[in-house]
Amino acid sequence: MPVCSLTVRLASCQPALLVLPGLGAVLAKYFAGFGARLILSSRDASKLQNVKSSLGLADDRVVVLPFDLCSEYSELEKAAAAADAAFGGAGVDYLIHNAGASQHAMAAETSSEVTDALMALNAVGPIKLTRAALPHMLGRDRGRIVVVGSMSSKLPSPGQAVYAAAKMALYGYFSTLATEVADTGVRVTICCPGPVATGSEEAPRVVYGPTGRIVQNATGAANRLDPARAAQLIANAAAHGVDEAWMAKHPVLAVGYIWQLLPRLGWSLLKKVGPKRARAVKEGRSGYDVSKIMLGKEAGK
C-alpha cells in the first residue's frame, strides 16, 4: 500500500513538469500512478512521445513539451511559460530536474569541450530553467522544485571530477535558493541518489569520456539503486516536503556519512581509494566495489 499522504498530495496536485530522460521516464510512471498530470520535457520529441505512449494516459493527463535545456535563455523562458499555461493555465506544482549525463574520465585528461558540455547540461541548464520558471511559481505562490542531484555533490568522486563539480554547483544553487524563498509558497527538495541502474548489457550506458561521449556496459549492478526504488524515494521526498534526501547503497552511502561526520577519516579513505577508483572508472569497470578496486580485479556486471 502506498503512503496515504503521498497518494492524497500527488492525486490532488497540479501538473508536474519532468525534465527527462533516464530516470525521468520511471519518475513519470510513478507520478502518473498517483493521478498527477504530467508535462514531459527533453530535446528528443520522438522519445517523449514514446514515454507518453508507454504511460497509457489520456491526452488531458499528459503534455509533451520538447526543448533543449542547453539552449538560449529566451528559449527556456518560452518553455517555462508554455508549462505554466498547460492544462488551462493550471501552473506547475512540481518542477523536477532530472536531465544530466555522467562522466568516466580522469580530471587531467578531460577536454575543455567535455567540461563545457557537462557543466551546461548538469548545472547551468537547470539553473537557467529554474530562473525562467520562478516568476510563474512565485506569482502563484506555490510549487516545489525537485532536484535530482547526486551523492557526488556531497563528497569527491574520483574519475568523475567535472560531473562532481556540476552536481556540487547544482547543490549550492538550489540549497541557497531554498533559503531565499523560504518565506514564500515555493519550496525546494534536493535528492542525492547514488548510482542508479539505468543501463544494462542489452542497453549500455552513454557517458562522457575524456574527449566526448562513449558507450560502456553497465557495471556494478549490485551496488546500484533499482530505478523504480529511486523514483519512489524521490517522489516520497517531494510529497512530504523533505529538504534534502540521500538515497544510495553501500559503500557510497557509508562513505557519504564518513565524509560528513568524520572528515579527516573521509579524506584519508578517499586519498587511498581515489587513484585506483579513477582508473577503474576510466577503464569501464565498477567504481562502487571497493574490494575489487583495491585489488585491481574486473568488477562484476
Q: How far apart are CA 153 and CA 301, in angstroms?
A: 25
Is 16 in contact with 92 (CB distance < 8 Å)? yes
**Dihedral in degrees, nearest 10, Cα atoms 227, 232, 233, 234:** 90
Q: Is 257 a catalytic residue?
A: no
Q: Is 186 helix (H, G, I), strand (E, B) or coil?
A: strand
Report in angstroms the alpha-carbon separations of 22 from 48, 97, 99.
11, 11, 8
Long-range contacts at 265-270 (CB < 8 A, ≥ 24 apart): 266/155, 270/155, 270/156, 270/158
Catalytic residue among 163, 171, 173, 208: 163
Cβ-in-10-Å burial (0-12, 13-18, 19+) of 66 comes to middle
First to last CA, the chain: 32
The residues that are catalytic are 163
